[in-house]
Amino acid sequence: MLKTQAYNTGNDTVCFDEMLRPDFSARECYRTLFEWLQRQSPGGIRAKQAEADAIFRRLGITFAVYGAAEANERLIPFDLIPRVISAAEWRFLERGIEQRVRALNAFLHDIYHRQEIVRAGRIPSELVNGNSAFLPQMMGFDPPRGVYSHIIGTDIVRTEEDGFFVLEDNLRTPSGVSYMLENRETMMHLFPELFAAHRVAPVERYPELLRQTLQSVAPSGCDGEPAVAVLTPGIYNSAYFEHAFLADQMGVELVQGSDLVVEDGALWMRTIRGRARVDVLYRRIDDAFIDPLNFRPDSMLGVPGLFDLYRAGRVTLVNAPGTGIADDKAVYAYVPDIVEFYTGEKPILKNVQTFRCSIAEERGHVLEHLEELVVKEVHGSGGYGMLIGPRSTRQQRADFAERIRANPGNYIAQPTLALSTCPAFAGSGIGPRHVDLRPFVLVGDRVRVVPGGLTRVALKKGSLVVNSSQGGGTKDTWVLED
Partner 1 sequence: MLGRTASSLFWMARYMERAENLARLAQVGHRVSIIPDGMGGYREDWKATLASAGCLPEFEARGAKLDAATAQNFLLFDRAHASSIRNCLENARNNGRAVRTALTREMWEALNSTWIEFAAIDPAEVGPGRMVELLDWVRQRSGQFRGAMLGSLLRDEGFHFCQLGTFIERADNTARILDVKYNVLLPVNEALGGERNQHQWDTILRSVSAVGAYRYFYRDRLRPRLVAEFLMLRPEMPRSLRFCCDFIAPSLGALAEMTGGGASSLALGSTLAAELRSTDLDAILRHGLREFLQDFLGRNAAISGALATDYHFD
Partner 2 sequence: MRIAVTHTTSYHSDTPARAVQALRLVPRSLRGQTVLSWQVRVEGAGGGLRYTDAFGNAVELMASHGPTTSVVITAEGVVETEDTAGVVGFPPEAVVPAVCLRNTALTEADDAIRAVAATCRRETALATLHAVLDGLHAAVAYGTGTTGSFTTAAAAFAAKRGVCQDHAHIFIAAARSLGLPARYVTGYLLTEEADAVAHHAWAEAMTPDLGWVGFDAANGQCPTDRYVRLAAGLDAAEAAPVRGVRLGAGSETLQVNVGVQASQSQSQSQG
Residues that bind partner 1 (CB under 8 A): 57-60, 71, 234-235, 240-241, 244-245, 247-248, 253-256, 258-259, 269-274
Give min distance, CB of 273 to partner 1, in A.
Answer: 5
Please, which of residues 261-290 interact with partner 2 by CB under 8 A?
261-265
Spatial contact of 208 and 216, defined as CB atoms under 8 Å apart: no
Q: What is the 3-state secondary structure (H, E, C) of 401-443?
A: HHHHHHCHHHEEEEECCCCCEEEEECCCCEEEEEEEEECEEEE
Give min distance, CB of 205 to partner 2, in A.
Answer: 37
Identity of the residue numbered 103: A
For residue 472, which of 456, 454, 455, 448 has the smallest C-alpha distance?
Answer: 456
For residue 107, which of 340, 309, 308 has the smallest C-alpha distance?
Answer: 340
Give min distance, CB of 254 to partner 1, in A.
Answer: 5
Give min distance, CB of 247 to partner 1, in A.
Answer: 5
> Is residue 225 part of the contact set for partner 2 (CB under 8 A)?
no
The smaller minimum CB distance to partner 2, of residues 132 and 353, is found at 132
**Interface size with partner 2, residues (CB under 8 A):** 31
Give min distance, CB of 64 to partner 1, in A.
Answer: 12
The smaller minimum CB distance to partner 2, of residues 81 and 128, is found at 128
Spatial contact of 108 and 148, defined as CB atoms under 8 Å apart: yes
Give min distance, CB of 116 to partner 2, in A.
Answer: 11
**314 is in the binding site of which of partner 1, partner 2, none (Cβ under 5 to 8 A by kind)?**
partner 2
Q: Which residues contact 379 (CB under 8 A, 6 or more apart)?
A: 132, 133, 328, 329, 410
Give min distance, CB of 305 to partner 2, in A.
Answer: 5
Question: Starting from the edge strand earliest in sequence, which strands make up the sheet with 411-415, in order?
Answer: 355-356, 411-415, 373-377, 386-388
Give min distance, CB of 233 to partner 1, in A.
Answer: 12
Spatial contact of 297 and 287, defined as CB atoms under 8 Å apart: no
> Is residue 313 part of the contact set for partner 2 (CB under 8 A)?
yes
- Which residue from 32, 115, 354, 416 is in contact with partner 2, where contact means CB under 8 A? 115
CA 441/CA 451 separation, integer angstroms:
10
Give min distance, CB of 144 to partner 2, in A.
Answer: 15
The smaller minimum CB distance to partner 1, of residues 304 and 409, is found at 304
Q: Which stretch binds partner 2 (CB under 8 A): 209-217, 255-263, 344-352, 369-377?
A: 255-263
The smaller minimum CB distance to partner 2, of residues 108 and 166, is found at 108
Spatial contact of 180 and 453, defined as CB atoms under 8 Å apart: yes
Give min distance, CB of 294 to partner 2, in A.
Answer: 7
**57 is in the binding site of which of partner 1, partner 2, none (Cβ under 5 to 8 A by kind)?**
partner 1
**261 is in the binding site of which of partner 2, partner 1, none (Cβ under 5 to 8 A by kind)?**
partner 2
Please, which of residues 131-190 interact with partner 2 by CB under 8 A?
136-141
Identity of the residue numbered 80: L
The smaller minimum CB distance to partner 1, of residues 150 and 243, is found at 243
Q: Which residues contact 356 (CB under 8 A, 6 or more apart)?
A: 330, 333, 362, 363, 412
Give min distance, CB of 230 to partner 1, in A.
Answer: 9
The smaller minimum CB distance to partner 1, of residues 244 and 312, is found at 244
- Which residue from 3, 21, 57, 113 is in contact with partner 2, where contact means CB under 8 A? 113
The smaller minimum CB distance to partner 2, of residues 61 and 111, is found at 111
CA 124/CA 43 separation, integer angstroms:
58
Q: Measuring CA to CA, how many Å separate 34 from each of 52, 159, 435, 474?
A: 21, 21, 18, 19
> Is residue 459 part of the contact set for partner 2 (CB under 8 A)?
no
Q: CA dihedral in degrees (367, 126, 98, 243; nearest 10)?
A: -90
The smaller minimum CB distance to partner 2, of residues 70 and 264, is found at 264
**234 is in the binding site of which of partner 2, partner 1, none (Cβ under 5 to 8 A by kind)?**
partner 1
Q: Which stretch binds partner 2 (CB under 8 A): 14-22, 306-314, 401-409, 423-431?
A: 306-314
End-to-end CA, the chain: 29
Q: Which stretch binds partner 2 (CB under 8 A): 113-121, 175-183, 410-418, 436-444?
A: 113-121
Q: Which stretch binds partner 2 (CB under 8 A): 36-44, 92-100, 310-318, 425-433?
A: 310-318
Spatial contact of 419 and 435, defined as CB atoms under 8 Å apart: yes
Q: Which residues contact 311 (CB under 8 A, 6 or more apart)?
A: 137, 141
CA 333/CA 356 separation, integer angstroms:
8
CA 356/CA 415 separation, integer angstroms:
12
Q: Which residues contact 348 (CB under 8 A, 6 or more apart)?
A: 92, 95, 96, 99, 100
CA 246/CA 447 separation, integer angstroms:
19
Instruction: Give residues in contact with partner 2 (CB under 8 A).
Output: 113-115, 118, 125-126, 129-130, 136-141, 261-265, 292-294, 297, 304-305, 308-309, 311-314
